[in-house]
Amino acid sequence: MKKKTCILALVLLSITVMAGCTTKEEHISIQKLENKTYHFEAYKQEIETRDTEKAKEVLKNADWHEFVWDKDIPKADFIFYFNDDKSEGAIPVYYAWVNKDEHVIELTRDQHKKHVQLNRKESTPILKLLNEW
């Protein structure tokens, strides 16, 4: 009887540990444009690891192009960055324009020197992080 109780306790402990490993502390800061001003939208601490990894993978593999900033371009809908992401030496800041009708996103980074327009599939993980999906 003690063996069964011990095994049951170990199984429950394993399940608890595994469930706790699906999230990790990821820090993302998001500012949303409202009425011509940016408002601090979110500082998320616990985000599903797979969701953040998908978004980071999309951003890493995106076909970024050199970009010349035009002052007539409207302000971005969102500004966001992953506080823990120092893979490039500095934390990259992303400016995002959301086309809600088509569920696609357009981004600049590196002080607007790089630009990419993502398709619907690539946009989905980022829109989920921004709570726009």
pTM for the full predicted model? 0.73
Strands (E), 5-122: 23-34, 37-48, 65-66, 78-82, 94-99, 104-109, 114-117
d(CA 107, CA 4): 56
Angle at 76 between CA 75 and CA 79, to 5 degrees: 130
The least confident of 5-14, 23-32, 98-107 is 5-14
d(CA 31, CA 78): 6
Tens of pLDDT, residues 29-85? 888 888 888 888 766 656 666 778 899 999 999 999 998 888 888 999 999 988 776
Average pLDDT over residues 18-23: 51
3-state DSSP call for residue 84?
coil
d(CA 26, CA 23): 8
**Record: fold of 24-129:** Immunoglobulin-like (2.60.40)
Domain spans of the chain, in order of start: 24-129
Other C-beta atoms closer than 10 Å to the C-beta of 74 total 8
Tens of pLDDT, residues 79-125? 998 877 666 567 899 999 999 888 899 999 988 999 999 999 999 99
3-state DSSP call for residue 15?
helix
d(CA 122, CA 108): 15
